[in-house]
Amino acid sequence: MNDKVAILLPTRNRWRILLDRALKSILNQTHKNWHLFIVHDGLINEGIVPTDDRVTVNYIDKVYTYPKGDKKAEWLAGPCNALNFALSKVNESFDYIARLDDEDEWEPDMLETMIKFLKFGDYDFVSALWKDEKGENHKPYSLRDMDIDDEGILGGVQTWLYKAKYKDILYDGKCWKKSWNANNELDWFERFYNQCHPKIGHSTKVVCTIKPRPGETEIGSKAYVK
- Which segments in the chain show pLDDT lower than 50? none
C-alpha dihedral, 137 to 140 to 145 to 147, nearest 10°: 160
Superfamily of domain 5-225: Spore Coat Polysaccharide Biosynthesis Protein SpsA; Chain A (3.90.550.10)
Beta bridge partners of 153: 142
pLDDT at residue 52, rounded to an integer = 87
In this structure, the strands spanning 200-210 and 125-132 are parallel
Q: Sign of the CA dihedral 62, 179, 123, 160?
A: positive
pLDDT at residue 165, rounded to an integer = 98
The per-residue DSSP string of the chain comes to ----EEEEEEESS-HHHIIIIIIHHHHT-S---EEEEEEEESS---------TTEEEEEE----SS-TT-HHHHHHHTTHHHHHHHHHT--TT--EEEE--TTEEE-TTHHHHHHHHHHHHT-SEEEEEEEETTSPBPPPEETTTTT-S-S-EE--GGG-EEEGGGTT----TTGGG-SSS-SHHHHHHHHHHHHH---EEEEEEEEEEE-PPTT-S--HHHHHH-
pLDDT at residue 219, rounded to an integer = 60
pLDDT at residue 14, rounded to an integer = 78
pLDDT at residue 15, rounded to an integer = 77
pLDDT at residue 45, rounded to an integer = 61
pLDDT per residue over 37-65, tens digit each? 999 887 666 666 667 899 999 989 988 99
pLDDT per residue over 152-186, tens digit each? 999 999 999 999 999 999 999 999 999 999 999 99
Domain ranges of the chain: 5-225
- Contact between residue 206 and residue 161 where contact means Cβ atoms under 8 Å apart: no
- Contact between residue 219 and residue 211 where contact means Cβ atoms under 8 Å apart: yes
